[in-house]
Structure 1
Amino acid sequence: MRVAQLGSGTPEIAVVAGVHGDEPCGVRAVERLLDDRPTVERPVKLIVANEDALERQVRFIDEDLNRAFPGSPDAKTHEGSLAHELVSELEGCLTFSMHSTQSHADPFAIVNGVSETATDVVPQLPVTAMVETSNFADGRLFSTIDTIEVECGLQGSETAAENADRLTRAFLTAVDALPGDTVRRDLPVYRLTDVIRKDQADTYEVFVENFTAVEAGASFAAADGDEQVADESFYPVLMSPNGYRDVFGYAAEKVDVIETTASADATSD
């Protein structure tokens, strides 16, 4: 784990990259901040987490770090002990954690609850949606540390790296660490409701788009040609043929739209 800091003092803001070793986009964003050394108005802790996995270009060494929190100093796995060290480094910090995905090109945020902080900060980020995942938060960083996760784009793409840089600087501006203004956006909010599992097969297909409603009775995926049909309507999130070993992704419900002040005022007139 590599730890650096912008500004002096005790940070209450942190940026984390490289939780998964096959997702280098956030590392690029952290390295660019360290190269640029912008003047900050609040100190910021910068962390590249799973350096061993990054070096090997694998998701993890022994277990998924983002399912290993809070970890333990006596853990038998690399990620179990690393999770404990990372929690110690992040104690007391609002944390911004960057990821990438095989399922969706447009950035979106993932939170453990629709908190006051989330509803204030996330609409200031260049994301298309906010996903509330408290039903599936066990072992994730935000189950232990106050964290906003972002999926920056498609894994390994240059666009995801560019998005990570834009997202990080927007976050640091939103929390008053960097000077300047952000742009607030109307933001749909989804809540994960179920895991969409997949059977062992040689080939997988997904027929639907993430964040686009799937109606009851519609075929949405297939394993070796055996189609899965929706029992009830849902919104797919993180759906892809091969992103996860044993699941296609998640089913979600749309629970809200966070409106900008201007939109809210216009609606009330």
Structure 2
Amino acid sequence: MRVVQLGDGTPEISVVGGVHGDEPCSARAIERLEADDPDVERPVKLVVANELALDRGVRYVDADLNRAFGEDTPADAHERRVAEALAEAVEGTTALSIHSTQSHADPFAVSDGREAHVQRYVPQLSVAALVDTTDFGEGRLFAANADIVEVEAGLQGTETATENAYTLAREFLTAAGVLPGDTVSRELPTFAMGDPIPKPEADEYEVFAENFTEVEEGEPYAAADGEVLVAEEDFWPVLFSPYGYEDQFGYRGEPAPNIGQSPSEGANSTSRNSRSSAQ
């Protein structure tokens, strides 16, 4: 694991990338931030977590790092050791954890919508929606003693995801008062993440539904080896893709109260940052 600090003092802000080795966009964005060597107004930690998995181009070496923050991961697993080091590195900070996905081209946030830091920062990021992961944090980085905002920067392995990751990191650092400038706070659609959508055993899969767009009862949403699957009830797909998960397409979502101010209230307003407002 590699940790770089910009600025003097004890950081209360951090940016984490490279949790999954097959999602290099976040590590590349952090490298670009380092190369920028910006003048910062308060200190920040930049963390590239699973360097070994990144070097190998694999999601993980022994265990999924984003599920390794608990006792179920074997003590001798590479990711268990990385998880312990990562938890220590981000302890006491507000952290942006950047990932990429196979489910949606536009960035979106995946965080606990009840948390004040999520309500504060996510509306200031250029994301399409918030997926509220209340009660889905077991074993994840959320278990660390830190305030975590987790985002998906775009489609895995694309240059667009790298550009998005860099933009999201700078937006977050601006909102936190690390970088100078203003950010715009927007109202964002929010979806509560519900039950998994199972995949029947098959060799080939297709999906017809779009993430964050309602699938009505009786509407086809996917196919397995050419057999069309039809919704038994209305739902909003989230993290939905043909091959993102081994045994499920994604999750059933339900619309939840939006976060952030409405465009009619704040279309021409900005949120000016200060050192005292970041936590």
Query: TM-score over 0.5 for the alignment?
Result: yes
Equivalent in the alignment of 2:98:
98
Alignment of 1:147-166 (within 5 A): 147-166=148-167
Say which SS state the counterpart of residue 197 (structure 2) adopts. strand
Structure 2: distance between partners of 1:74 and 1:194: 27
Equivalent in the alignment of 2:213:
212
Count of aligned pairs: 266
Equivalent in the alignment of 2:132:
132
Structure 2: distance between partners of 1:265 and 1:35: 34
Structure 1: distance between partners of 2:138 and 2:263: 37
1:260 CA displacement? 2.3
Cα separation, partners in 2 of 1:125 and 1:71, compared to 1, 3 Å: farther
Instruction: Determine whether 1:40 maps to 2:40.
Output: yes
Residues 15-73 of structure 1: CA deviation (Å, up to 9, x unaligned):
00000001011111110111111111111001000000000001011111111114699
Cα separation, partners in 2 of 1:48 and 1:199, compared to 1, 3 Å: same
Structure 2: distance between partners of 1:43 and 1:240: 38
Structure 2: distance between partners of 1:58 and 1:126: 28
CA RMSD of aligned residues (A): 1.8
1:161 CA displacement? 0.5
Contact 1:12-1:93 at 8 Å conserved across structures: yes
Equivalent in the alignment of 2:24:
24
Unaligned runs of 5+ in 1: none
Cα separation, partners in 2 of 1:91 and 1:230, compared to 1, 3 Å: same
Alignment of 1:49-68 (within 5 A): 49-68=49-68
Could you state the TM-score of these two structures normalised by the residue count of structure 1?
0.94
Q: Which amino acid aligns with 1:34?
A: E
Say which SS state the counterpart of residue 213 (structure 1) adopts. coil
Q: Which amino acid aligns with 1:120?
A: R
Equivalent in the alignment of 1:120:
120
Structure 2: distance between partners of 1:160 and 1:92: 28
Equivalent in the alignment of 1:2:
2
Say which SS state the counterpart of residue 245 (structure 2) adopts. coil
Equivalent in the alignment of 1:223:
224
Equivalent in the alignment of 2:248:
247
1:243 CA displacement? 1.0
Equivalent in the alignment of 1:83:
83
Contact 1:71-1:82 at 8 Å conserved across structures: no
Unaligned runs of 5+ in 2: 268-279
Equivalent in the alignment of 2:13:
13
Moved more, 170-179 or 81-90: 81-90
Equivalent in the alignment of 1:232:
233
**Identical positions, percent:** 58
Structure 1: distance between partners of 2:130 and 2:41: 27
Structure 2: distance between partners of 1:154 and 1:234: 23
Contact 1:152-1:164 at 8 Å conserved across structures: yes
Instruction: Determine whether 1:170 maps to 2:177.
Output: no
Structure 2: distance between partners of 1:89 and 1:71: 19
Moved more, 185-194 or 136-145: 136-145
1:231 CA displacement? 2.1
Equivalent in the alignment of 2:272:
none
Structure 1: distance between partners of 2:266 and 2:235: 30
Moved more, 130-139 or 30-39: 130-139
Contact 2:114-2:134 at 8 Å conserved across structures: no
Structure 1: distance between partners of 2:83 and 2:147: 15
1:90 CA displacement? 1.1
Q: Which amino acid aligns with 1:119?
A: Q
Structure 2: distance between partners of 1:68 and 1:60: 11
Could you state the TM-score of these two structures normalised by the residue count of structure 2?
0.91
Residues 96-151 of structure 1: CA deviation (Å, up to 9, x unaligned):
01100111000001112332221111111111101111232211111333210110
Q: Which amino acid aligns with 2:162?
A: A
1:265 CA displacement? 7.7
